[in-house]
Copies of this chain bind each other. A is one copy, B any other.
Amino acid sequence: MKAEIITIGTELLLGQIIDSNSQWIGQRLAEIGVNLYYKATVGDNKERVLDTLKNSINRSDIIITTGGLGPTQDDLTRECIGEALGLELIKDEELLMDIRDYFDKMGHEMADNNIKQAYLPEGAVAIDNPEGTAPGILINQDGKVIVAMPGVPIEMKAMMIETVLPYLKKKFSKGEVIKSRVIKTCGIGESSLEELITDILTEQTNPTIAPLASQGEVKLRLTAKANSEEEADRLINLKEAKLQERIGEYIYGYDDDNLEGVVAKLLWDQKLTIATAESCTGGLIGDRLTSIAGSSAYFERGIISYSNQAKMDLLKVKKSTLEKYGAVSSQTAKEMAKGVRNLSKTDIGLSTTGIAGPGGESLEKPVGLVYMAIADKDGVESYRYQFNGSRERVKYMTSQMILNLLRKRLLAKS
């Protein structure tokens, strides 16, 4: 069966609020195995609400709306649903009493406007609203289910959890479970990653595999359908094993993992301490490494050696190195990493130096050129990267790459 969500409200179109309702409903539907095919948003305009509803009822089996159930003139959902389905609105006296009770309980008098909320399309069932006045609407007509809920998230969520999800599960679920796992990779672009696993992507059926690129990483989402949680896990594990074999070196984590968290765990497990010497990243790596609760166990200090003077004073980068090779060079990166490790007496020293742009480039050293280095008890290694994009992007990509290089080095030594 096909489901869709319609969120109603001009404020959503103007971008005054973000549509978190449909995200939340989408997650819940996925969990009970209901396929969401479309989402639509429309303003508080009768013609367009009606047009959208008719289109949805025509093509889908489950239609869930939020918004437009309040007592004011621009709350149109109730009458549009009635009109779209050819159902008359009928006053429900019991419902009216409930609404009156709600106001009494709050010590307010019910406004006449609220009477409107006691009207339901013929044959509809009211959905109890434990958090507010506007009841929801549930209609089952010719095998199609139409659900209307208020736009206030706390009211909508209570209705979904207490009434709508149990109803849909009972009616549409065929004992089916849907589970997802997100595999996170770093150090390879989306298209190169896909080329490595073209055959696995092509043969995908269950679980399905969806690649998704974001800044500095590519995710693969595996989604399996099965008759039990165990079976879904088994299907995902099988597919993941195949992927591990092919692209294991790029996989750094799962689901809510981030690179700094994975690096933090490796440092904890290996009881290692770290210090950073940042030039072009300006403190971003320190910020990321200290974003993990308990980071003082591994993060000793960081030097943001922006000026050459700071590089010489604190990190003991040689003046001759800066003069001969420049601040943005493999040699300087290495001396910075060694320098901060010596200064801090940590197990690991890490450095970045580059041209974040937009200014500051030369013929041999374009914007986006970055050198990084990692020093440990076995010596120091440097890395050269050329990034493009904005200053912000160059900084972020640098932090992402050096954290990934560190992750691989820690893994290799564990």
| Cα-based distance from A262 to B212 in the complex (angstroms) | 35
**Stretch binding the partner chain, chosen from A120-128, A138-146, A188-196, A317-325:** A188-196
B36 touches A42 (CB 8 A): no
A74 contacts the other chain (CB 8 A): yes
Number of interface residues of A (CB under 8 A): 119
**Stretch binding the partner chain, chosen from A77-85, A164-172, A382-390:** A382-390
| Cα-based distance from A20 to B107 in the complex (angstroms) | 39
A161 contacts the other chain (CB 8 A): no
A411 contacts the other chain (CB 8 A): no
**Stretch binding the partner chain, chosen from A225-233, A240-248, A291-299:** A291-299
B192 touches A111 (CB 8 A): yes
Which B-chain residue is minimally distant from A38 (CB atoms)? B42
**Stretch binding the partner chain, chosen from A5-13, A87-95, A329-337, A371-379:** A5-13
| Cα-based distance from A20 to B15 in the complex (angstroms) | 9
Min C-beta distance of A109 to chain B, whole Å: 8
| Cα-based distance from A389 to B285 in the complex (angstroms) | 22
| Cα-based distance from A61 to B59 in the complex (angstroms) | 24
Query: A374-404 interface mask toward B, CB cutoff 8 Å, 1 = contact, 0 = none?
Result: 0000000000011111111101000000000
B192 touches A72 (CB 8 A): no
Contact of A290 among B12, B283, B359, B366 (CB under 8 A): B283
Contact of A310 among B38, B301, B386 (CB under 8 A): B301
Complex contacts, A393 vs chain B, CB 8 Å = 131, 154
Min C-beta distance of A11 to chain B, whole Å: 6
Min C-beta distance of A212 to chain B, whole Å: 6
B290 touches A282 (CB 8 A): yes
A27 contacts the other chain (CB 8 A): yes
Contact of A70 among B16, B213, B282 (CB under 8 A): B213
Which B-chain residue is minimally distant from A9 (CB atoms)? B212
A18 touches B20 (CB 8 A): yes
Known A15-B23, A300-B307, A393-B154: A41·B44 in contact at CB below 8 Å: no
A108 touches B192 (CB 8 A): yes
A131 touches B302 (CB 8 A): no
| Cα-based distance from A106 to B73 in the complex (angstroms) | 56
For chain A, residues 270 to 318, give those with C-beta under 8 angstroms from any C-beta of chain B. Answer: 276, 278, 281-287, 289-291, 293-296, 299-307, 309-310, 313-314
Complex contacts, A388 vs chain B, CB 8 Å = 102, 105-106
Min C-beta distance of A39 to chain B, whole Å: 4
| Cα-based distance from A213 to B17 in the complex (angstroms) | 12
B114 touches A191 (CB 8 A): yes
| Cα-based distance from A201 to B108 in the complex (angstroms) | 23
B306 touches A302 (CB 8 A): yes
A1 contacts the other chain (CB 8 A): no
B12 touches A39 (CB 8 A): yes
Query: A36-66 interface mask toward B, CB cutoff 8 Å, 1 = contact, 0 = none?
Result: 1111111111001001100100010000000
A152 contacts the other chain (CB 8 A): yes
B192 touches A105 (CB 8 A): no
A176 contacts the other chain (CB 8 A): no
- What would 11 A/B residue contacts be, using CB atoms closer than 8 Å? A13-B26, A14-B36, A16-B180, A19-B22, A51-B59, A70-B213, A131-B393, A278-B283, A283-B284, A283-B285, A300-B306
